[in-house]
Structure 1
């Protein structure tokens, strides 16, 4: 009597963070710390902050807090997918809300809103690439989104004429 030996294929090794992703994660943690400190210093002015700005800050804080977790932890498992869905929703909501935040440019859109439009277009592709297991495309999209829409855009929230900059540097 012959038996058929079944062997299980080893699951692919999950992608781990490379040096660039470690730097992106560190940048997100640093930016989040600056946002928290700025908001704490601006506490006396919280009542004057419009609801749309609070909503935008809230979604960005969620995205910033999840970014290091997503970049540095194991990938491809259920927690990664759940946290990734939350991150994508936070990014998309933040971008959409930002179109109603026009306090710094005399009521007009600013160049940062170009990044918001890019996020609205790019996020569905990022999510789709993850759902269809296009790992390299997904990884590149995440890196671009973190660098451009979180870190670069976040950096430009701190010039002195903007709310967080005024809170932080006053």
Structure 2
């Protein structure tokens, strides 16, 4: 067992991109929470699918810096990673029931949902296979495309969080 511990690769430390992605996730989380608080008068009119979506996205945004900035390969990293991946996957699937913005039809942002729904299982599989390079690329793609880009697109264009935050 000692020989196995010696041959095990050392966990990758967060690089500059991962530190920036963590801070970007915190900034988006702060904007989303501020929007939600400002929109309290309208909470009763919000469909359950949107509340589920907001909840899962808040979990993912909260865990993103924690997971990206901590030591890799630990039991905590794996457990938080499963929670993060589950939140991302549920958020992606749930988004297909959110059709208010485009008059009952899918919008361009749903392409990001499809991306997340496909890439999240890949994320788990690459981690379980110890394919660190593919896992890291998939994490970065999901954070940049599925979390930060999709999240930033919820503020303009008269979308719910944008209306709540910007009035």
Deviation of 1:12 (Å): 3.0
Which residue among 46, 49, 54 is the counterpart of 1:57?
Answer: 54
SS in 2 for 1:133: coil
Deviations 1:44-75 (A, max 9, x none): 11001000100000000001100000100111
2:90 matches 1:93: yes
Give the aligned partner of residue 83 of structure 1: 80
Distance 1:9 1:135 in 2: 18
Q: Structure 2 matches for 1:6-17, cutoff 5 A?
A: 9=6, 11-17=8-14
Which residue among 50, 71, 74 is the counterpart of 1:74?
Answer: 71
Distance 1:130 1:11 in 2: 15
Deviation of 1:160 (Å): 4.5
SS in 2 for 1:110: coil
Distance 1:99 1:9 in 2: 46
Which residue among 113, 126, 150 is the counterpart of 2:110?
Answer: 113
| Change in 2 beyond 3 A, CA 1:160/1:114 | closer
Write 1 or 2 for the structure with the bigger share of helix: 2
| TM-score, normalization by structure 2 | 0.95
Which residue among 132, 138, 150 is the counterpart of 1:141?
Answer: 138
Contact 1:160/1:169 (<8 A) preserved: no
Deviations 1:90-147 (A, max 9, x none): 0000000000001111111000000111111111111100001000000000001000
Distance 1:157 1:63 in 2: 16
Q: CA RMSD in A?
A: 1.3
Structure 2 residue ranges without an equivalent (≥5): none
| TM-score, normalization by structure 1 | 0.94
SS in 1 for 2:6: coil
2:162 matches 1:158: no
Structure 1 residue ranges without an equivalent (≥5): 1-5
